[in-house]
Amino acid sequence: MDDLTRKQKQVYEYLCSRAAKGDAPPTLDELCAELSLRSRGSIHKHIRALVDAELVHSMAGKQRGVRLVDSDHEGGVAPSDPDLLPFVGRIAAGVPLEAVNTQEQLLVPPILRTDRACFVLKVKGDSMIDEGILDGDLVVIESRDTARNGEIVVALIDGEDATLKRIVQRPEVIELWPANPSLSVMKYSPERVSIQGAVVGQMRTYT
């Protein structure tokens, strides 16, 4: 991934977001339209780079759409796919919002998660925009009950409401920092906050 250009990473993120929603693999023409690329030749060059990086399959005239290496079937993911992660629901990046369990699963490429148990949440709100986490983004969370200071975590407040913030832990107080200058730091006594996991990956759709 580090060797890819910004545009190539954008193409890959878009492919991941479509796969996560269960959409069929897009054609080159569809990619050009969705990503505002001017020519079919330019998108073909980006796809060639992703093929070389072993992130997508070579088209080679065998398939209609551009397929991720982790998604070899038409119009979605197989129920037994090991890259499926639980989609727990929404998470507030503003004020606390109850996480909604949707009982769904989403395809997440290995590069966007860790070897530990992970799950996916959809961001609602704009308090983390300066970290590049926008309303509607899908964030991949490594499930754990501890975090290092400075990590972006899912924090459960009073056992009821979950929020996505950067955490600072002190003996007498837990601080949950937004990444939006118009919002204030949230402060709670340690017994009121439990950590549900930390952000390890992110996906975004451009539609």
Residues designated as active site: 127, 165
What string of DSSP letters covers 52-121? Answer: HTTSB---TTS-SS--BTT--STTS--TT-TTEEEEEEEEESSS-B------EEEE--GGGS-SS-EEEE
Please name the amino acid found at residue 113: R
Contact 50, 25 (CB under 8 A): no
Q: How far is CA 111 from the centre of its chain?
A: 11
